[in-house]
Amino acid sequence: MKKIITLFSFICMCGLSAWAQADEAVQLFIANGGFFESTMPTDYVTIGTFKEGNYTVFDTIQNQSVQDALVKDNFLYIASEDSIVKYDADTYERVATTDFGGDESFGSVHSIRIGGEYLFATKWYGENNQFLKVYNANTLELVQSTVEGIDSVPGGMAVNPAGFLYISQKNEEGIEVVEVMDLNTLSITETLNIENESGSIKSLFYQDGLLYGINYTNSMLLKFDLETEETTSFDLSDLALEGFGSGFSSHARLVKNKIYMLANSGVATFDLETNEIEQLGSITTDETVVALEVDTVNLNYFINTTDYFSSGICHPFTGENDAAPSFNIGVSAEAMAMHYKSTISSTEHNIASNTNVELYPNPVENNLIIASDEIIQSIEIFDLSGKRIYQKINLNTTKFDCNLGSFNADVYLVKIQTKDKQNIVQKIVKQ
């Protein structure tokens, strides 16, 4: 089944430079769970894309709920009950599928993450002890059906580009901990006591040596310093956090030093530098707010609502928090993922600049040195699909050491921004 729904173009609302800049092409994938039926279902999971003002459904999965969605290296991954499906993000063709359960008793996948060459899938419900499965991210072939040390239903997952996966879970005493997995050995190497005494962390993020976890039960944000092993708690009780539904992975996003959260029938942010909370756009609706996605380039954001049985609506907002025209989507659209075809302007490669920047060694095996005669404010590294895979901000230095040991052998683009806002892009080769 294929449906096309046309709306007043979001481009007109945001302006061409805000939504379809010459150097960036963006589309939003939306996964709809459909309305649940206890008897023989007549409505199934649909996968659609919002692009250039149009919402189009391009595939159907024979399930009744969707749990997670992510885009990596120009591929879309959908987690839906006992299935994980991989699509080409340009052609929308299925390129791989896998049976997550294997039998009815195992139940459903809850969330998925990609680290290195692997896709990790956590269990939502079921009767056996396969709480975390490991797949080859390219083929979706099963690599490991269990991980020793993951002994209960996991909460959140977060990937450290240095080669680690963090998984939150309850230990035998019922206390929330975070397990550290080495992506080279696929084994748990350390257990972190994050001092989360009650409730569960459902959204987990990593950035610059810090872990951030959202406890929806107690309305708390926890910050764990991996070097000092100290935990700092922040009270979010002034926010009515949205934690209902299967897709907890789509309830919060970490974007440019801010955590975006579904709260107060809209979106709120927590600034990781100032610890300040800001309420952004909100919706007046009788429906349930179920999913959030943020355009990390332009800071537009999208909120999905549903009544779970007859309707679903996507509510776009601009980076200035102005509401754009909403549009109809499928029922129970609990997962979204943004696709960035290109995040580097071709003109940036030829920016006239008096700044002298050196990157060495190139080709590089482990550590890349970036040196400049001007103060370096930020560094970003992109793969050739345009996906940002590394970011350091607020550096205020003229020399920086980037550890690329965990990167796959490939060609990458390095974007350096100086304190006076000059952008320099150079190509490197990782061996």
Q: How far is residue 119's CA from residue 21's CA, in Å, rounded to a whole number?
A: 31
Average pLDDT, integer, range 153-161: 89
In this prediction, residue 422 carries a pLDDT of: 83
The gap from C-alpha 146 to its chain's centroid, in whole angstroms, comes to 24
Average pLDDT over residues 410-417: 88
Task: List domains and CATH numbers for the chain.
Answer: 4-342 (2.130.10.10), 348-430 (2.60.40.3080)
**Can you read off the two tokens belonging to residue 132?**
């975390």
pLDDT at 221: 93
Q: Which helix (H) or strand (E) holds 35?
A: none
Predicted confidence (pLDDT) at residue 107 exceeds the cutoff of 90: no
**What secondary structure does DSSP assign to 277-299, as a single string?**
EEEEEE---SSEEEEEEE-TTT-
363 preceded by a cis bond (ω within 30 of 0): yes
User: Is the pLDDT score of 140 beyond 90?
Assistant: yes
**Tens-place pLDDT, residues 14-67:** 432 333 333 354 799 999 998 876 666 678 999 999 998 899 999 999 998 999
Average pLDDT of the chain is 83
Residue 173 CB neighbour total at 10 angstroms: 6
- Check residue 23 and give its pLDDT: 37
DSSP 18: H
- Which band of pLDDT confidence, cut at 50, 70 and 90, is reported for residue 1? very low
H or E segment and range at residue 94:
strand 94-99
Query: Model confidence at 281, in pLDDT bands (50, 70, 90)?
Result: confident
Q: What is the pLDDT of residue 132?
A: 93
Structure pTM? Answer: 0.76
N-to-C CA span, the chain:
45
Most confident listed range (58-62, 113-117, 307-311, 426-430): 58-62
* Sign of the alpha-carbon dihedral angle for 396, 401, 404, 406: negative
Percent of the residues in the chain that have a pLDDT greater than 70, as a whole number: 84
Taking the C-alpha atoms of residue 398 and residue 11, their distance in angstroms, rounded to an integer, is 39
pLDDT of residue 111: 93
Res. 98: pLDDT tops 90: yes
- pLDDT at 12 > cutoff 50: no
The pLDDT value recorded for residue 247 is 47
Residue 342 token pair: 């290109």
Query: Which residue would you say has higher pLDDT here, 2 or 301?
Result: 301
* pLDDT > 90? residue 123: no
The answer to whether the bond into 154 is cis (omega within 30° of 0) is no
Cα–Cα distance measured from residue 238 to residue 264, given in angstroms and rounded to the nearest whole number: 9
* Range with lowest mean pLDDT among 165-169, 279-283, 290-294, 329-333: 279-283
pLDDT at 20: 32
Higher-pLDDT residue of 186, 176: 186
pLDDT at res. 373? 86
Q: What is the pLDDT of residue 173?
A: 82
Give the pLDDT score at 293. 94
CA dist 82 and 126 (Å) reads: 11
Q: Is the pLDDT of residue 5 over 70?
A: no
Q: For 330-385, write each residue's pLDDT tens digit.
A: 899 999 999 986 444 433 443 445 568 889 898 888 899 999 888 998 998 988 76
d(CA 324, CA 75): 27
Distance CA 400, CA 379 (A): 9
| 4-13, 176-185, 215-224, 386-395: range with highest mean pLDDT | 176-185
Confidence of residue 69 (pLDDT cuts 50, 70, 90): very high
What is the residue whose two structure tokens read 């952008």? Answer: 423
What average pLDDT score do residues 124-133 get?
77
Count of C-beta atoms within a 10 Å radius of residue 2: 10
Residue 38: predicted pLDDT: 64
